[in-house]
């Protein structure tokens, strides 16, 4: 069997090796700090069939990614609801949201960039509020919050307590966002997915399994390409 290309290795204080096949087919390995490359390579080879099936699944799922034209009437997600966009002759600022999106027609070539910037700004404000809320309520301690461009991870927690969330998360329902926030805050105490970790998450959000399942089955809604 030929070698399988590993596109990225992410090391942390986790206890087990995990594989992530991204939407573009890239293979990311998440591994414990001290595990050797030899062990990682052997693990990847042992999962060759799973990797191939996952890549085929990602190719199939990409067919369902929304194709955006940014034409008037097209719907875009925000906090779990869909809102239409209206392309107008002239407005300042060129991109606005008031129970629906509006875009200056002269800014159409930058429509995707305008949406992403707005989503990032909203995510930064909303996520900061939710993290502060739950951290105070349950006495979690974190270093800082950042908004990322991650395509396959909703959130992450670094060894130093930096919480990262993809800007795409702001498209999902508030209760789903809260689950991701609680999930990452729990990682400031348990840097793994041990029974103790899930016990902590469950003590705060008893129906977390339903939220986790929702993310798995609906994440394709929030990818545009």
Q: What is the pLDDT of residue 63?
A: 57
Answer whether residue 225 shows pLDDT above 90: no
Expressed as residue numbers, the domain containing 161 is 117-222
Please say which residue of 37, 62, 87 terminates a domain: 62
pLDDT digits (tens, 9 = 90+) for 105-137: 999 999 999 999 999 999 999 999 999 999 999
Average pLDDT, rounded, for the chain: 89
Whole-number percent of the chain with pLDDT over 90: 64
Mean pLDDT of 46-58: 85
Q: What is the pLDDT of residues 136-170, one digit of tens each?
A: 999 999 999 999 988 778 999 988 889 999 999 99
Mean pLDDT (whole number) for 203-225: 86
Is residue 90 included in any domain, yes or no?
Answer: no
pTM tops 0.85: no
Write b or e for each residue in 144-167: b if 16 or more Cβ atoms lie within 10 A of its Cβ, otherwise e. Answer: ebebbebeebbbbbbeeeebbbbb
* Percent of the chain scoring above 70 in pLDDT: 93
pLDDT of 14 above 70: yes
Minimal CA–CA distance to 140: which of 190, 202, 186? 186
pLDDT at 65 over 80: no
Q: Is residue 164 included in any domain, yes or no?
A: yes
Residue 164 sits in a domain of what CATH number?
3.30.2010.10
Q: What is the pLDDT of residue 1?
A: 45
Q: For the chain, how many structural domains are there in total? A: 2
Residue 14 lies in a domain: yes
> What pLDDT does 2 receive?
52
Cα separation of 105 and 110, whole Å?
10
CA–CA separation, 202 and 174 (whole Å): 18
Is pLDDT larger for residue 27 or for residue 225?
A: 27
Residues 122 and 217 in one domain: yes
Q: Give the per-residue pLDDT at 206.
A: 96
Starting at the edge strand found earlier in the chain, the sheet holding 144-148 runs 144-148, 162-166, 155-157
């Amino acid at each position: 069997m030929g070698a399988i290309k590993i596109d990225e290795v992410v090391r942390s204080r986790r206890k087990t090796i995990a594989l992530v096949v991204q939407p573009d087919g890239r293979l990311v390995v998440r591994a414990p700090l001290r595990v050797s490359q030899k062990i990682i390579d052997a693990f990847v080879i042992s999962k060759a069939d799973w990797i191939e099936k996952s890549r085929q699944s990602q190719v199939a799922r990409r067919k369902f990614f929304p194709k955006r034209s940014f034409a008037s009437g097209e719907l875009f997600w925000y906090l779990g609801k869909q809102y239409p966009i209206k392309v107008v002759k002239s407005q300042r600022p060129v991109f606005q949201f008031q129970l629906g999106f509006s875009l200056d027609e002269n800014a159409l070539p930058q429509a995707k960039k305008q949406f992403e910037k707005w989503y990032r700004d909203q995510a930064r404000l909303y996520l900061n509020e939710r993290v502060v809320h739950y951290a105070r309520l349950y006495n979690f301690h974190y270093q800082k919050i950042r908004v990322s461009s991650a395509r396959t991870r909703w959130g992450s927690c670094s060894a130093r307590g930096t919480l990262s969330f993809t800007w795409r998360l702001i498209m999902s329902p508030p209760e789903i966002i809260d689950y991701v926030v609680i999930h990452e805050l729990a990682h400031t105490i348990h840097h793994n997915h041990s029974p103790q970790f899930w016990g902590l998450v469950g003590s705060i959000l008893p129906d977390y399994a339903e939220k986790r399942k929702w993310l798995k089955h609906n994440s394709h809604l929030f990818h545009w390409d």
